[in-house]
Amino acid sequence: EPEVTQTPSHQVTQMGQEVILRCVPISNHLYFYWYRQILGQKVEFLVSFYNNEISEKSEIFDDQFSVERPDGSNFTLKIRSTKLEDSAMYFCASKIDRGPSYEQYFGPGTRLTVT
Amino acid sequence: ILNVEQSPQSLHVQEGDSTNFTCSFPSSNFYALHWYRWETAKSPEALFVMTLNGDEKKKGRISATLNTKEGYSYLYIKGSQPEDSATYLCAFESGGSNYKLTFGKGTLLTVNP
């Protein structure tokens, strides 16, 4: 069964460094998302991406964050200058089409630890 | 700000017990309600997507109901097994939101053999 994959599974970085989290969504999906979960808190929406552009972003998704789909396969989340509070599990998700009956398929997450 | 609440936060049951948990969500601007099963170090697995008031869905021993007018959904597990141990997440999808999901905090279920 097709699945969403994410790399790396765990990333440790120092405050102020740039990180790129990578995702390979399911191949025929059209909608892409990043979510994150800070330990002990709810999974929260960061950004949605469709037709090669951001369709919606949350207040968390400030100028330090960017997303890209560079080659029609990968979907990346970049954090330019990481802060301690960026430490979280980051999930990528994809959805085949618009409409309420379609599921969002999630990857296993990347645990980002900022020291 | 959309508020999705789940209860209880955690639950311990014995193998064979049946159990249920609740998700409450805004009753306005409803589009869909999703249930996910999430085991540590794995991808959250989609269980159900529910869209219509009164919907009931079933997958094996797991079933779910939906009441959009009062803003709640129940997830039921019949005859719990140790492999059902996981966090069960519900997520609300509101209309016109680019299909983003707003999650509850989850219910952590532990089934003791």
Q: Are A13 and A112 in contact (CB under 8 A)?
A: yes
Whole-number average pLDDT of chain B = 94
Sheet with B56-59: list strands edge to edge.
B5-7, B19-24, B72-77, B62-67, B56-59
Residues of A in contact with B102 (CB under 8 A): 45
Structure tokens at A72: 């029609």
User: Could you check whether the bond before residue B82 is cis, i.e. omega within 30 degrees of 0?
Assistant: no
| pLDDT, mean of residues B13-26 | 96
For A39-56, what is the mean pLDDT?
94
Angle at A23 between CA A54 and CA A26, to 5 degrees: 90
Say if residue A99's pLDDT is above 90: no
Q: By C-alpha distance, which of B100, B92, B107 is closest to B4?
A: B92
Per CB distance under 8 Å, which residues of B are interface residues toward A?
4, 31-32, 34, 36, 41-44, 46, 49, 51, 89, 91, 93, 97-106
pLDDT digits (tens, 9 = 90+) for B43-78: 999 999 999 999 999 999 999 999 999 999 999 999
Q: Which residues pair with A112 in a beta bridge?
A: A11, A88
- What are phi and psi for residue A71, nearest 5 degrees? -140, 20
Which residues does A50 contact at the CB level (< 8 Å), separation at least 6? A30, A31, A32, B98
pLDDT for A6 = 97
**Higher pLDDT among residues B21 and A73, named by residue:** B21
- DSSP reduced 3-state for B82: helix
Per-residue pLDDT, averaged over B26-40, amounts to 92
Model pLDDT, residue A107: 97
Q: Quick check: A100 pLDDT over 80?
A: no
Residues B99, A44: C-beta atoms closer than 8 Å: no
Contacts of A108 (CB under 8 A, 6+ apart): A5, A6, A9, B41, B42, B43
B1 has pLDDT over 80: no
Whether the per-residue pLDDT at B108 is higher than 70: the answer is yes
Number of other residues whose CB lies within 10 A of the CB of residue B35: 24
Q: What's the rounded mean pLDDT across residues A39-46?
A: 95
Strand partners, A13: A114
In whole numbers, what is the pLDDT of chain A averaged over residues? Answer: 94
Closest CA to A77 of A113, A114, A43, A32: A32
Q: Which residue has the tokens 């989340």?
A: A77
What pLDDT score does A70 carry? 85
**Region B65-93 average pLDDT:** 96
Q: Apex CA B40: angle with CA A13 and CA B9, to 5°?
A: 110
- pLDDT-above-90 percentage for chain B: 86
pLDDT of residue B95: 72
Furthest CA-CA distance within chain A: 41
> CB–CB of A101 and B100 under 8 A?
no
Instruction: Check B105 against A42: CB less than 8 A apart.
Output: yes
CB atoms within 10 A of CB A95: 21
Quickly state the pLDDT bin for A109 (edges 50, 70, 90).
very high
Residue B97 predicted with pLDDT over 70: no
